[in-house]
Homo-oligomer: A and B are copies of this chain.
Amino acid sequence: MLTLGIVGYGYWGPNIVRNFMGLADVNVSKLCDANPAALQRAGNLYPHIAMCTEDSDITADRDIDAVAIVTPVFTHYPLTKAALENGKHVFVEKPFTSTIGQAEELIELADRKNRLIMVDHTFLFTGAVRRIKEIIDRGDLGDLRYYDSTRINLGLFQHDINVIWDLAPHDFSILDYLSPNKAVAVCATGHDHFRTGMENIGYVTIYLEGNMIAHFNMNWLSPVKIRSTLIGGTKKMLVWDDLKPDEKIKVYDTGVEVEGKENIYNLLVSYRTGDMWSPKVDHVEALRLEAQYFVDCIRKNEKPVNDGQAGLRIVRMLVATSRSLREGSRQVAL
């Protein structure tokens, strides 16, 4: 039985509480939020959980084995540090930290304390991404050539981070998970229509090793909601539309290959067009699977795929986008 304390009961916190409570081998013992109204909402639903307003009541609680940190990004570093120093395992919201240095320090601390960090890259646990991972790993698409993501909607503006820090962690973590090619440079453009110091529209290009490019379109001001990704491989291409109730993934029997050296010079490109295939996608809630995976990794003393290092890779990309934006969208090496 793992005893878990949770810090933060805002937008995402209720999902964290509900999913960890749904696990047989977890006891959610204590919940912290500085906002009394949030604690009251939680208390009505979960009268048996202890409530507190000071996060140290959780990070220093001797009976707690692990802490879930579901708070704004700027608090991730001090909270995770406190939890690790008290010997707790940590489940922390994305993005992992605000700076590269913070992430590196926490990873080092966790290693020293022999504790686990899992960053909540929830999308890796969706049926769609798990299926796409399978398809790529068994070679169906061939070598990846491009990744093109659009994640736009009419959304609430964040006060502390721009649209890229808000939305890109989803897509950067998916790219990082799916692609065997290492990201090498980042360019970002965007606009801050309201002069708040934070872009509300952002476009990011990532250059990867292995003849591959990725692009990300993010927008808080779209009248329509779009969540779609194209993945182009040498053998086949894949379109993932996350808003479709069915047929989220379509694999097109169309790839691009240049065969033979002379053909490269002749600029010949062979197109194969053929059938389309839409695999069934599992509907289990992603966060449920991820919560169970957190518990399993602790029990087996295994590094999760979404460990601190994965979190750090995403933070490096985010930091590079901010630098590119500041410096006239020039390419920033990773």
Q: What residues make up the interface of A, taking CB atoms closer than 8 Å to B?
A: 145-146, 148, 150, 152, 154, 157, 159, 187, 189-191, 193-196, 201, 203, 205, 207, 211-213, 215, 217, 219, 221-225, 230, 232, 237-239, 243, 245-247, 250, 252-254, 256, 258, 264, 267, 269, 271, 273-280, 328-331
Contact = CB atoms under 8 A, between A and B. Distances in A.
Contacts of A195: 264
Contacts of A237: 221-223
Number of identical protomers: 4
Given A146-B221, A275-B278, A277-B275, A269 B194 contact: yes
A333 B157 CA distance: 30
B213 A224 contact: no
Contacts of A191: 146, 207, 211-213
A159 B264 CA distance: 12
The residue among A154, A196, A224, A264 with the most chain B CB atoms within 10 A of its own CB is A224
Contacts of A271: 154
Contacts of A250: 278
Given A154-B273, A189-B215, A275-B280, A194 B232 contact: no
Contact of A201 (B213, B238, B274, B330): B213
B329 A187 contact: yes
| 8 cross-chain pairs, A with B, having the tightest CB-CB distances, nearest first | A223-B252, A189-B205, A223-B237, A191-B213, A276-B278, A187-B329, A328-B331, A223-B254
29 contacts: A146-B191, A146-B193, A146-B219, A148-B219, A152-B230, A154-B271, A159-B267, A187-B187, A187-B329, A189-B205, A189-B215, A191-B211, A191-B212, A191-B213, A194-B269, A215-B217, A217-B217, A221-B256, A222-B232, A223-B232, A223-B239, A224-B230, A225-B245, A250-B278, A253-B280, A275-B277, A275-B280, A277-B277, A328-B330
Given A222-B230, A230-B223, A277-B275, A201 B146 contact: yes
B278 A196 contact: no
B273 A280 contact: yes
Contacts of A154: 254, 271, 273
